[in-house]
Amino acid sequence: MNNTVKISIDNLTKIFYKKNNSVTAFQNVSLQIEEGEFVCLVGPSGCGKTTLLRILAGLELPSSGTFTIDSDSNDRPLQSMVFQEKGVIPWLTVEENVAFGLKMRHLPKEFVRKQTDYYLEKVGLKKFSKLYPKELSGGMKQRISIARAFANDPEILLMDEPFAALDEQNKFILQDELLSIWSETKKTVFFITHSIDEALLLSDRIVLMSAHPGEIIKEIKVPIPRPRTMEQVRANAEMAEQFITIWNHLQQEVQRSRR
């Protein structure tokens, strides 16, 4: 990390207005994420995590407050988003899916091919490049989404529980692959997860939110050096302590929200 602030969120609040009532998804969220930082957002269900990410992705407007994503080039997209599911276009092949964003920007054919091949190789999908998503497993589909997101070379990556629907084995493999690509590209990543292990494995910093309406109530720097493995996360005493801190926080917040 080089201490340049890449994402700056200032006192952001989102209220959804309905006919006779309103729902505050989250409120007074302020957060700064440095260039190249990997930050995980953890909080109880319904505390506004997805809404916050959707606002950063330009898919929703905030009710109040501001945010900025630092950009040093007009040639790159501001953000790419990876969702839990539904990230792939069913009528395009694997390679067409990965190349999609690049083609939309009318980049030179040769560049698109190289960039697509590079990331297909990185996520182990090279030999499946001519297949359609329906011919692939859930893990392979998520690999397409990750390859496409990195191939787009965005300023920041927004990831909304990308591995939540996968079985544990596949999850570990994809987490490893994501870390490997991230350490190479040093993209700024803002990542939502419900998995404490996942947050501890991936993050430089974990941001904890309160129950609905969500507010940021704690930040935790993840102490173990990189590269990391899940074995280290599970064996490291400091990490075990952090796990319990986060677990206690989530339990308290869920109980509070039910009162």
Ligand X SMILES: Nc1ncnc2c1ncn2[C@@H]1O[C@H](COP(=O)(O)OP(=O)(O)OP(=O)(O)O)[C@@H](O)[C@H]1O
DSSP single-letter state for residue 127: G
d(CA 68, CA 156): 11
CB of 194 to ligand X, least distance (A): 6
SS3 59: coil
Q: What share of the chain is helix, strand, coil (3-state, %, to 5)?
A: 40, 25, 35
Site for ligand X in 107-136 (CB under 6 A): none
Is there binding between residue 249 and ligand X (CB under 6 A)? no
CB of 242 to ligand X, least distance (A): 20
Is there binding between residue 165 and ligand X (CB under 6 A)? no
Is there binding between residue 66 and ligand X (CB under 6 A)? no
Please, what's the b/e burial string for 81-116 (b: 16 or more CB within 10 A of its CB; e: otherwise)?
bbbbeebbeeeebbbbbbbbbbeeeeeeeeebeebb
Report the residue from 7, 42, 49, 149 that binds ligand X according to the rule CB under 6 A. Answer: 49
* CB of 246 closer than 8 Å to CB of 194: no
Pick 29 or 120: Cβ nearer ligand X: 29
CB of 52 to ligand X, least distance (A): 7
Looking at the DSSP bridge assignments, the partners of residue 208 are 42, 218
d(CA 76, CA 102): 10
Pick 43 or 154: Cβ nearer ligand X: 43
Question: Is the bond preceding residue 108 a cis peptide, omega within 30 degrees?
Answer: no
Report the residue from 23, 92, 179, 254 that binds ligand X according to the rule CB under 6 A. Answer: 23
Is there binding between residue 45 and ligand X (CB under 6 A)? yes
CB of 54 to ligand X, least distance (A): 8
Is there binding between residue 50 and ligand X (CB under 6 A)? yes
CB of 48 to ligand X, least distance (A): 4
Binding site for ligand X (CB under 6 A): 16, 23, 25, 43, 45-51, 212
